[in-house]
Amino acid sequence: VFAPTENDPRLVETVRRIEASRCDFADRDMVLGRIVTDGASTLDGHVVDAEQAQRLMTQYGIGANSFSVVLIGKDGGEKLRVNDVPDLQAIYAVIDGMPMRVREMGADPGSC
């Protein structure tokens, strides 16, 4: 999740939605990155320095005052981009349609 500040209401709401569906989020082996222009950025709970945060913003074409949720695959490729608070069910549906996820669900249908 890219946002101008760590207190951006869209970031706060996105994180709230993720926490409300934590089992579904974790079941898909997802990692949350909070990359902000002003404030502390984190990736999977670990602090990301400002230089690394800027590199990520540049890599994914995010402006300093922009808000975007970018679904990044394990291959590093962009799979989906939403420029507002996301519908997590839509994101989960994209993931569930990926070949690797289809195989995972066949082997272990999950616990949620």
- Provide the token pair at 39: 């404030």
How sure is the predictor about 97, in pLDDT bands with cuts at 50, 70 and 90? confident
In eight-state DSSP terms, residue 83 is S
Residue ranges of the alpha helices (H) in 1-112?
9-20, 22-27, 50-59, 88-96, 99-107
Q: Does residue 50 sit in helix, strand or coil?
A: helix
How sure is the predictor about 75, in pLDDT bands with cuts at 50, 70 and 90? confident
Distance (Å, whole) CA 71 – CA 80: 5
- Side-chain-facing half-sphere of 19: CA atoms under 13 Å: 6
